[in-house]
Amino acid sequence: MAKNRDIYILAANYLQNTDWHNDPELMKSIISFYSRAKAFDQLANFYDSVSAVEVDDYRDYEKALGALQDGLKYVAKSTSQTKDMMYRQLSQKTQYMEKFV
């Protein structure tokens, strides 16, 4: 129950270096930490990473599409200056994935 958002970001960044894909609790913790910190850019990037792992390692394109769609939700909540660029990139990936699936 930290009050400093940077601690949540550091914790989520650290957990990304673990085997989060095979442990759903770690994945939930990463999402929770980024959400508590209101670090929506990092959360969108995490979902982009989830999508890449699903495609590269497991060939599960439907889960990858779901991750990209979740990433779009969070990048829309972002207030950063790169919000528009990130939204366009994730949107384009999502469109390609939808066509493929």
The residue-averaged pLDDT of 15-44 equals: 95
So what's the pLDDT on residue 68?
97
The residue-averaged pLDDT of 30-41 equals: 96
Ramachandran assignment for 44, one of left (phi > 0), alpha (psi -120 to 50 degrees), beta (any other): alpha
The residue-averaged pLDDT of 12-37 equals: 95
Question: What's at 74, amino acid-wise?
Answer: Y
So what's the pLDDT on residue 2?
72
Residue appearing with tokens 């779901």: 66
pLDDT in tens, 68-97: 999 999 999 999 999 999 999 999 999 999
What is the C-alpha to C-alpha distance for residues 96 and 94, in angstroms, rounded to an integer? 5
| Domain extents in the chain | 5-100
